[in-house]
Structure 1
């Protein structure tokens, strides 16, 4: 396997996941980890109680499909924290969701990365682009995933390590 421009890191696309209570935003990078782009927003199913025990929820299955189709080398999941850095109930939910992703994607590493302000940044970017506030809902999770991924890519570039905390 070849290495990426971030010395010592394996080459491969990176996938970011912005976990919401209703929707999940996805963003992906190129194989060299240079640019983050939005992929899609999928309905959140995992954790809703609508999935029989032992079954893979449709949203987790969709994420696993993206990992395979795009040759993803690492999945970054946003970890919401308070501005103080303390974790909340949303943090626990994101940790649980990241665990489900890790089970579904097998050997591909899953990392939790601090996502403080990602949704705020996403709304600001959409507003700056001229998109009406009421139309943000359909894409804000994708844009938040782009913000999460770009932050992780910056860590990779600056420190030559994977960003965040590895799940499992």
Structure 2
């Protein structure tokens, strides 16, 4: 299965994660400085080539109520620029609480503040990507389960639309 690159885009740093070859596990990869978005995009595309990633998932920082704050605009512009510069699939994915989840985990593990600062962004990218991979796996299982049960949109006779 193709690999996917996860991106936690921030004002100062960009966290990166990569899926395993089976597309089941997200692994932390790297942190890039975010000062130059053109360079960040080139670095991301270079990593995609190196790691043979065929898709990019960018975390979308929605507000807790699902509304769109100011950070969403910057991330969407970044994702749009990625789309312009590559033929790879670029998707945005809800990242609510990913950084907070990582921060709580690192604090509970008694990781120093300085070390947390170095880890948080790439671990947040890992959380975002893992959430995406889990959702894709669940969707795949639902589709397979329905196919095995013979349930489809044509009345449940077991034939797929392509076979009718």
TM-score by length of 1: 0.80
Q: Which has the higher helix share?
A: 2
Give the secondary structure class of the aligned counterpart of 1:81.
coil
Instruction: Name the counterpart of 1:154.
Output: 134
Aligned length: 141
TM-score by length of 2: 0.81
How much is the aligned-residue C-alpha RMSD, in angstroms?
1.4
- TM alignment of 1:53-132, pairs within 5 A: 57-104=38-85, 106-132=86-112
Name which one, 1 or 2, has greater alpha-carbon Rg: 2
Cα distance, 1:102 vs. partner? 1.7
Give the secondary structure class of the aligned counterpart of 2:64.
coil
Distance in 1 (alpha carbons) for counterparts of 2:84 and 2:130: 24
Give the secondary structure class of the aligned counterpart of 1:139.
helix
Instruction: Name the counterpart of 1:22.
Output: 12
Distance in 1 (alpha carbons) for counterparts of 2:53 and 2:109: 29
* Structure 1, unaligned runs of 5 or more: 1-10, 48-56, 162-168
Cα distance, 1:128 vs. partner? 2.5
